[in-house]
Chains A and B, each alone.
Chain A
Amino acid sequence: MQHMSTGERVLRGILIALALIFFLFPIFWIVLMSFQTNAQILRIPPSLFFSPTLENYTSLITGQLKTASGVLTLNFMQNLFNSFILSTASVALSLVLAVPAAYAFARYKFRFSEDIAFTLLSFKFAPPLLVLLPLTIYFQKIGLANTYFGLIWVYQLITLPLILWIVRGYFEDISPDIEHAYRIAGHSWAKTFFKISIPLARPGIAAAALLSFIFAWNNFVFALVLASADKQPVTVGALAFVTASGIQYGQIAAAAVISITPTLALALFAQRYLVEGLSLGAVKG
């Protein structure tokens, strides 16, 4: 890769630039909208120039939306908090359950191993809509409706298969030799698993955790159906700006920006582990 011709380098630059424009322009536009009033957003033709306002953000954060007919209360920060609780707890639980399982499927051939792995994957097949009505009924019967616990449990259907199958791939790519060497040196299985296997698979675990966090964060149908208003995530909360008296694009944009922030922070944090990939190649094979 060191031997890149100038033409190739230019082409590369152009392609990266194109990708960045395609994927980031809408984001850029959403960020701009979040600093505009509705009247500014609804201009013909749309324009880059406007006097920015922080109103969308202040109304979301303080929970007070000023309208022509008085002040309305919003629960956006509560929604944000709910999303945070639900996604974090779901991913944490999934990691605890799925990483050891992924390791087992990658390292051992045991009876039913592929069947169990496929069954776990298959929970991702059931369209949420299919199980929603029965799930709502059963949840009410066993008292899990309207609880964080119940939702986190259901969220495992989103996060667990994803983590399991992605991490399994990474474990399989790590040669077992290093683990063996460590075992020979007299360390226990558990110690080997935590000190050697997990750190080696960290880029994969980080990628899987990040992605499943995003999917949990973006889900809304489970919470909508299974929980009352005080447990709704941001995805439902942001729709509150589509009302009979009009749609508040500025606030939706600001809500989108705010709801990206925690995920982005997590992504930046995980980045350290994600890029470890290169150094990993050296220990391998």
Chain B
Amino acid sequence: MSALEHASISAKTASPSRRRRRQKWLPYLLSLPALLVTVWIVIPFFTAIYYSLLRYRLSLPQLKGFVWFDNYLHFLSDGRFWYTVQVSLLYTVITVVVELVLGLGIAILLQRSTRFNNLAAMLLLLPLMVAPALAALMWKLMTNPNFGILSYLVGLIGLTNFRWASDPSTALFTVILVDVWVYTPFIMVLLLAGLRSLPKQPFEAAALDGVPKTFVFFRITLPMLMPYILTASLFRMLESIQQFDIIYAMTQGGPGNTLTVFQVESYLQFFQFTNVGRSAALLMVLWAITFFLSNVFVKNWLRLRERAQGISEE
């Protein structure tokens, strides 16, 4: 659909000059209110940038002072910081990939709009509706070695010494498990809606021609679904790299320093250690990483969207 076509259609409903003027301001009129309502966030954001350039610990007010990039420079030689980067990215990649595969799988299983499938889809949304902070408390109880049903169940299959979040070797697995439980439904519901709104013609044509199902999936379904997949994983990525509720409630960043992801570390720096400068600098780094990753996502999204539209309009 080109702008020219669009113009030729609209031209019939309004005089050319009025239409052109309107064509110009309409998109702005539609999009700017959203921007105006939210753009004020840059004010506290800039304040936070300023904080990140300070030596600013609330418990040591006499030391407060402007230190330029000292907080950032300090990170370069700090092994703990690099570990934080590493474990945050690891957590993000694993949760997003696992949830994407599971979410896509379930969406495909439930693709047909039958009464059962619709009910199942609704029920599968339930984990998402339990606030992560509460979900983590409940999981903590369910994995308690004495009273926990999950500990009991894995004990039945012989894993009597499985220590879930309290052992450094299984802590990451446990919080990822809870994250997958909570957030897979998010991806599932978006992809299900995406799948169901795909045009039918290509699939019908493929079925008539006897094209193998794997081919249909990889060559038709997946490419057409790709924009939805990217949107869903973009939002999962944004949440996952900033994960706090689940990890903090289950382990507080431990055992040892195993799960000191960005948000846990900066939460502790701010609320417990009242080290405002360090906390702000840490969060700025997180912001920069998020910005970079989102940019990659959005670039790909725009590219794929054009390609997907190419397919759907053939």
Contacts and interface: CB of A to CB of B under 8 A. Distances in A.
A and B touching (Cβ–Cβ under 8 A) = yes
Interface of A: 1, 3, 12, 15-16, 19-20, 22-24, 26-27, 29-30, 33, 41-46, 93, 97-98, 100-101, 103-105, 107-110, 113-114, 116-127, 129-131, 133-135, 138, 153, 156-157, 160, 162, 164-166, 169-170, 172-173, 175-177, 180, 183-184, 186-189, 203-204, 207, 210-211, 214, 217-218, 220, 234-235, 238-239, 242, 249, 252-253, 255-256, 259-260, 263-264, 267-268, 271, 274-275, 277-278, 280-282, 284-285
Nearest to B283: A130
A44 B270 contact: no
A177 to B, nearest CB: 8
A63 B69 CA distance: 51
Contact of A19 (B27, B106, B131, B263): B106
Contacts of B231: 165-166, 169
Interface of B: 1, 3, 5-6, 9-10, 12-13, 22-24, 26-28, 30-35, 37-39, 41, 43-45, 47-48, 51, 102, 105-106, 109-113, 118, 120-135, 137-139, 141-142, 146-149, 152, 181, 184-186, 189-190, 192-201, 207, 227-228, 231, 234-235, 238, 242, 244, 262-263, 266-267, 270, 276, 279-280, 283-284, 286-287, 290-291, 294-295, 298, 302, 305, 309, 312-313
B31 A105 contact: yes
B286 A238 contact: no
Contact of A16 (B110, B125, B199): B110
Given A164-B34, A184-B12, A15 B199 contact: no
A153 B37 contact: yes
Interface of A is mostly: helix
A127 B287 contact: yes
A97 B32 CA distance: 9
Contacts of A15: 105, 109
Given A46-B152, A130-B45, A104 B26 contact: yes
B181 A278 contact: no
A188 B12 CA distance: 11
Contact of A157 (B38, B192, B196, B235): B38
Given A110-B28, A127-B266, A135-B44, A256 B138 contact: yes
A97 B33 contact: yes
Contacts of A93: 37
Contacts of B37: 93, 97, 153, 156, 160
A18 to B, nearest CB: 10
A235 B135 CA distance: 11
Contacts of B196: 203, 275, 277-278, 280-281
Contacts of B194: 169
Given A120-B34, A134-B48, A275-B196, A220 B123 contact: no
B130 A260 contact: yes
A220 B43 CA distance: 22
Contacts of A156: 37-38
B231 to A, nearest CB: 5
Contact of B113 (A16, A127, A186, A277): A277
B200 A30 contact: no
A23 B6 contact: no
Contact of B199 (A113, A133, A176, A284): A284
Nearest to B40: A153
A253 to B, nearest CB: 7
